[in-house]
Copies of this chain bind each other. A is one copy, B any other.
């Protein structure tokens, strides 16, 4: 007897996913994705280009591509960016070419982006998977912002104010995860669960970038 009588139906074909992880400043987007990287989940982590100064713990090419204002403007002029935005006075831009190349290699792409940028991606790639990270409480978010100590006090208040506004955008996302203190593994696991579940959908998403 042959050992591979095919099923009488076609399995859903899942093209690789574009997964957008967003949420207010200091909610823990970077830490959650760093944790996923450490756990060796097989994704392509899109590295954002930014003109923001490198923080001491950050690594060029892993956390961000730290570029000059001139380099950024050149990329922008070349139409390199899927989206770009100014956030608190610094430029951030995500490369369309990098996303396309990774998807073409069959890799799921995870991108971390601010809430404003996520809205742009939603317009450009409506079938991407949109995940919103929330802090457990507002004061915990404030404490996380303070821990960075990279900004003067008035910026901090501005960020807390912005976070309130950004949270009201949650409804436009597919999934929401409360990123608890000291629970990065849980958050990373939930993001992974969401991606695994999405790959079981009978009706796959159609990602066109």
Contact = CB atoms under 8 A, between A and B. Distances in A.
Given A6-B138, A12-B176, A137-B6, A197 B201 contact: no
A5 B174 CA distance: 25
A168 interface: yes
B196 A200 contact: no
A67 interface: no
B7 A167 contact: yes
Interface string A175-189: 111100000000001
B190 A177 contact: no
Given A132-B202, A173-B202, A201-B174, A4 B137 contact: yes
Q: How large is the interface on A (under 10, 10 to 19, 20 to 34, 35 or more residues)?
A: 35 or more
Contact of A200 (B2, B6, B135, B190): B190
A131 B164 CA distance: 37
Contacts of A196: 189-190, 193-194, 197
A3 interface: yes
Contacts of A175: 197, 200-202
Prevailing SS type, chain A contact patch:
mixed
A134 interface: yes
A158 interface: no
Contacts of A200: 131, 175-177, 190, 193-194
A42 to B, nearest CB: 15
Given A132-B202, A134-B7, A196-B193, A1 B176 contact: no
5 contacts: A6-B138, A7-B134, A170-B202, A176-B200, A194-B197
Given A12-B176, A192-B193, A196-B197, 7 more contacts: A5-B138, A8-B138, A132-B202, A173-B202, A176-B200, A177-B200, A194-B197
